[in-house]
Structure 1
Amino acid sequence: MKRNLLKKILAGLMSAALLSLPALAAEPQQPASWAVSQLADSYALGLVDDNYTTYIQSPVTMEQLESMADVVAAKLALLELDQRAADAVGLVVDTTRGGVMNALYQEAAAYELPDVENGTVDFLTGLGVVQGDSAGDLALERTCTYQEAMVMANRLILAVYDQQDAGSRGLLWKATNGNNTLYLLGTIHLDRDNVYPLHRSLRDAIQASEEVIFELDLNDQEGIALLQSMQTYSDGTTLADHISPELYQRVQSAAAALGMEAGALDIYKPWALASTFSTLSMMDDSTSSNAMAIDSYVNAAAVNSGKAIGAVETYAFQGGIFDGLSAEYQEAYLDSALSALEAALSGTSSPEMEEALQQQEEMLSGMFAAWKDRDPEAFSQVYGKEAIINSTDELNSKLFTERDPGMIQAAANYLETEGNHTYFLAVGAGHMVDPGGIVSGLRELGYTVELVP
């Protein structure tokens, strides 16, 4: 696991909500209105980073173009398409619009794709990757901006995936009541296993909805500030006053390994560090460069499309679940999560931890495979919600038994809204599946709920 990625995610989780990304500071370069809808996918795919507002309107450089072409190549390779003899030799690759098109076309031309033999312009315009101005002028000789190159690369990846009926389908259901529709997406609060891009059916469901609802409103700055205050000590004590000296020293060592200053984590409570360390240990080499959790992607896609945003819980409620854990449990939680992170950082661990990490890896891989295939039965089998609920673990019961009923009622309320509406609810997949999940809960209330084909 790359240390710079761990450091970035740690900084993000410690400065924002449990599931949100750090807010971008205002910068002079903003994307054009026609490019905003491409940002969520571009960010998830790694075509832009957190600093995109410092360069998005600038001319693209050859180094940036090569990086984009690498992303396209990597995503197309995952499709395992039949390869074809290269016929793109001699194409001029430079930072003009035509040169950028050639660079991207070369990656697609390595595979047996419909009409790829027609050449750069015909192939890319046929897919809608390049559209030109109102007069149809493609401005091939003009210098290409980063924004234009990003949109071309993003459109190419999505177009080929859509053409192949590929992409992560997600655990997506459709609930109906009269003229009302509520899409139900069970998410995983991670980015790994090459989860992006998402399947068109999932992307279309987001765009078809007038309001997108989450566990928490990831754009609620007051709520985020409240959670931050719950994560940290305000009574004059620090982490060292609440955990054993041995565990405290291990936290300091982990912080140092991540390039953080001594004492940088002292203000945080054990549960806040534990939840962050746990997330970090579950990432792997397939996690994208931006580590965009699925919830964050859906939120970005919705916000960038002007959708209303809703939430079924509050930061006070969700933060209170963790903040209400006993001191003994919090220390044990931190100990366990830190052990996993230490193993990820060092590459070595005890036989017991090695076995635990292997079990975690098998579970996560199985969960993501089922999620990508839209197979709720396989997901449920791997996830084992019944065992989680019936365990004596202090946190597990709180995460489900105290929350699922409220989520079911919130979903029903949307279906009972007067008029003709389409909504989209995205919460953790564990809340969707049985026992006690939202899908069966709505069916028991008499609503029609079907897995999206």
Structure 2
Amino acid sequence: MIGKKELKNIRFALFSTLTLFSKMGIRRDLFGKNTKFYIDGLCFTRGVTMRYLYGILLAGMLTVVLAGCSEPTESKVQYFEDKNLEEAVRESLGLENNGDLNEENLAMVRTLHAFEREIESLEGIEKLENLEELVIFGNELEDLSPLLELDQLESVDIENNPLDLSVGSDTYSVVRTLTENDVFIFIDEERFTLDMEPSRGVFYEVMNGENTVYLLGSIHIGSEELYPLHDDIEAAYDSADVTAFEIDFTSVDENEMAMLAMQSGMLEDDESLKDYISEEDFKRLAFLLQPLGINDSEILSGLKPWFVQEALVTLVSMTAGYSPELGIDMHFLDRAEEDGKDIIGLETVEDQLALQDQLALETQGQMLSETLQEYDTLGDELLELISMWRIGDTEGIAELRAPAGDEPEDYLMYFDALSDERDAAMTEQIEAFLNGEDGYNDGDTYFVVVGALHLLGENSIVDLLETRGYEVTQGANQPPLEVEDEEEEE
């Protein structure tokens, strides 16, 4: 079990200030082809439309081993049958084209990102004896059996490969075996279904007279494994007249939002990211962030530390196969728009971006350096966070709300603004829903989706509503109810 202190780097996935960023695009003329940035935990996607340029945290662990080149040997050993797989391994080790692979440096690889490289064979991958996380989506793989030789493997993304996943096939058996060995698998759900309990999440009901408000605590990234959701949640959405989200992205101009976010994330001309982190950290960031198109040191040096930290979390997220459009808030926002339900935004883009400037650049730099130090465990932290949400572990998630206790004073003030102050403001609006005030109608049902930590712990929305005398009932905390036959004769 990962402790509260270790989870602090990714708990923002439950607050969603950066849900903004998952809807925001960083323009390709700055960061390369088809780059998509998500920031509330942050998210980068693989070709998601511009509509999702502002979302949340994707998940996944990226461990880049910056191993020095070993001394050359007289004859080179071919470890991998597929040259594209070998190239991916070399890149993960930071080797030049002429750098030699050997059993010693192969054993150092714990995470490998080898997506969309036209890889046809995994033969030889057993040489990566300490490999824990593997991303191989979008290749030409038909045989996964070499994965069974990886004793340390914890997660693998095999989406978008021409695999035969029919029941009884060799690949089906491999996937089943990996699952039984507690390997977390990202897979094409429409072709392979694992039996899973519906996600319970963080869900509450509040009633006042004829008015009902349902509160759903979101995690702002997701995968198909988050669905289906508990029947209570689905029924609440279906019954709602009005839906409310932290930001109503359906009414936001995406180009304007992108410009605002970029302006917020850029340093002044006479400042550099190197002023706030070490040269060693800067070089590592420049290497790690290449997959996001941030491959120019001049561009990187002009970004604020908080922005770079979100990019780093984005990178971890994307390698694990998570995306913001499968996050809970985007899932219901899209449905509400398609279903023609009324949509309300509780905050604005400007509100959320303004929070970032409350944190001193020096503190931002310190946090970025700490995130780099813990980079190799971020994927594990994110996986645990999502697992807690799936099973409805509200007590465990609530522990993440309180700062770890060793943060600078300006960080504590920032965290208060991120959590307590925002929760107080959103509670005022939810009270208006419950009381039919400020133009809201009596008799309406509201379905409100906010970051999960906004509903848990002291001074949260739920805590404030209970303090003010409202009865708040937790839902989705029992196994799904059996649906009764509505055709029974009276």
TM range (shorter): 0.5 to 0.7
Displacement of 1:427 in angstroms is: 1.2
Cα deviation per residue 1:157-193 (whole Å; 9 max; x = unaligned)? 9xx99xx893212111111111111110112233269
Contact 1:213-1:311 at 8 Å conserved across structures: yes
- Please tell me whether residue 320 in structure 1 is matched to residue 354 in structure 2: yes
Residue number among 306, 316, 340 corresponding to 1:306 in the alignment: 340
Residue number among 167, 189, 202 corresponding to 2:220 in the alignment: 189
Letter in 1 for 2:453: G
Q: Name 2:427's counterpart in structure 1.
A: 408
- 1:277 match: secondary structure: helix
Equivalents in 2 of 1:250, 1:205: separation in Å? 46
Displacement of 1:435 in angstroms is: 0.9
Equivalents in 1 of 2:202, 2:40: separation in Å? 26
Q: Name 1:212's counterpart in structure 2.
A: 243
Q: Name 1:376's counterpart in structure 2.
A: 394
Contact 1:182-1:424 at 8 Å conserved across structures: yes
Judging changes above 3 Å, is the alpha-carbon distance between structure 1 residues 435 and 392 closer, same or farther for their aligned structure 2 residues? farther
Number of paired residues?
309
Displacement of 1:320 in angstroms is: 1.2
Letter in 1 for 2:433: Y
Contact 1:172-1:452 at 8 Å conserved across structures: yes
Contact 1:177-1:415 at 8 Å conserved across structures: yes
Displacement of 1:321 in angstroms is: 1.3
Cα deviation per residue 1:23-48 (whole Å; 9 max; x = unaligned)? 7369xxxxxxxxxxxxxxxxxxxxxx
Question: 1:71-220 to 2 correspondence within 5 Å?
Answer: 166-191=197-222, 194-219=225-250, 220=252
Q: Name 1:254's counterpart in structure 2.
A: 288
Residue number among 391, 398, 403 corresponding to 2:417 in the alignment: 398
Displacement of 1:449 in angstroms is: 1.5
Q: Name 2:447's counterpart in structure 1.
A: 424
Residues 222-231 or 11-20, more deviating = 11-20
Equivalents in 2 of 1:205, 1:451: separation in Å? 13
TM-score, normalization by structure 2: 0.53
Letter in 1 for 2:339: S
Q: Name 1:24's counterpart in structure 2.
A: 49
Equivalents in 1 of 2:199, 2:249: separation in Å? 23
Provide structure 2 residue ranges, at least 5 long, that are not aligned to the other structure: 1-30, 52-137, 145-163, 170-187, 477-490
Judging changes above 3 Å, is the alpha-carbon distance between structure 1 residues 390 and 365 closer, same or farther for their aligned structure 2 residues? same
Judging changes above 3 Å, is the alpha-carbon distance between structure 1 residues 306 and 267 closer, same or farther for their aligned structure 2 residues? farther
Contact 1:439-1:449 at 8 Å conserved across structures: yes
Cα deviation per residue 1:351-385 (whole Å; 9 max; x = unaligned)? xxxxxx3xx666545543332223423432xx342
Equivalents in 2 of 1:365, 1:237: separation in Å? 39
Equivalents in 1 of 2:213, 2:470: separation in Å? 10
Displacement of 1:326 in angstroms is: 0.6
TM-score, normalization by structure 1: 0.56
Cα deviation per residue 1:319-368 (whole Å; 9 max; x = unaligned)? 11112211211111222223344x3xxxxxxxxxxxxx3xx666545543
Judging changes above 3 Å, is the alpha-carbon distance between structure 1 residues 256 and 191 closer, same or farther for their aligned structure 2 residues? same
Judging changes above 3 Å, is the alpha-carbon distance between structure 1 residues 368 and 301 closer, same or farther for their aligned structure 2 residues? same
Q: Name 1:243's counterpart in structure 2.
A: 276
Structure 1 runs of 4+ off > 6 angstroms? 19-23
Report the RMSD for the aligned CA atoms in angstroms.
4.3
Provide structure 1 residue ranges, at least 5 long, that are not aligned to the other structure: 1-6, 27-63, 71-102, 110-149, 344-356
Judging changes above 3 Å, is the alpha-carbon distance between structure 1 residues 174 and 20 closer, same or farther for their aligned structure 2 residues? farther
- 1:261 match: secondary structure: coil
Q: Name 1:329's counterpart in structure 2.
A: 363
Cα deviation per residue 1:247-279 (whole Å; 9 max; x = unaligned)? 433322223365643234344321111123134
Cα deviation per residue 1:136-176 (whole Å; 9 max; x = unaligned)? xxxxxxxxxxxxxx9xx86x99xx99xx8932121111111
- 2:200 match: secondary structure: coil
Residue number among 359, 365, 386 corresponding to 2:402 in the alignment: 386
Q: Percent identity?
A: 25
- Please tell me whether residue 276 in structure 1 is matched to residue 305 in structure 2: no
Q: Name 1:348's counterpart in structure 2.
A: none
Contact 2:43-2:315 at 8 Å conserved across structures: no
